[in-house]
Amino acid sequence: MPECHTMAHLLGFFNGVWNTKKEAERSLEVMKQQSFLGPDWRGAPIRYELFYNQSCKSVAGGACLQDVAEVFRQRSTEIDGLLDRRWEYFWEQVTGQHTQAGSFTQRLVDRVVRADNALAQWFDTLGNAVLAKITALSTMLLENPPTAQDTAGHTAQLVRAGQRAERAVLVAHSQGNLFVNAAYDAYLAHSRQAGALVGEDTGYVAAKVVHIAPASPTLRGPYVLASTDLVINGLRRVDGTYLPVSNATLPLNSKDLSGHKLLDTYLDEARPLRAQIRQLVTDALDAL
The Cα–Cα gap between 124 and 16 comes to 31
Average pLDDT over residues 230-245: 72
Helix 118-143 / helix 104-112 crossing angle, nearest 10 deg: 150
Average pLDDT over residues 56-71: 49
- The pLDDT confidence band at residue 59, using thresholds 50, 70 and 90, is very low
Q: Widest CA span of the chain, in angstroms?
A: 89
Following CA atoms 159, 284, 49, 156 in sequence, which dihedral angle do they give, to the nearest 10 degrees?
A: 20
8-54+152-287 adopts what CATH topology?
Rossmann fold (3.40.50)
Domain ranges within the chain, ordered by starting residue = 8-54+152-287, 66-143
- The pLDDT confidence band at residue 206, using thresholds 50, 70 and 90, is confident
Q: pLDDT at residue 23 above 60?
A: yes
Q: pLDDT at residue 281 above 60?
A: yes
Q: pLDDT at residue 142 above 70?
A: no
The Cα–Cα gap between 10 and 45 comes to 8
DSSP code of 266?
Answer: I
- The pLDDT confidence band at residue 123, using thresholds 50, 70 and 90, is low
Average pLDDT over residues 26-41: 96
The Cα–Cα gap between 40 and 166 comes to 13
Q: pLDDT at residue 56 above 70?
A: no
pLDDT tens digits, one per residue of 67-114: 455 544 554 444 444 444 454 555 555 555 555 666 645 655 565 554
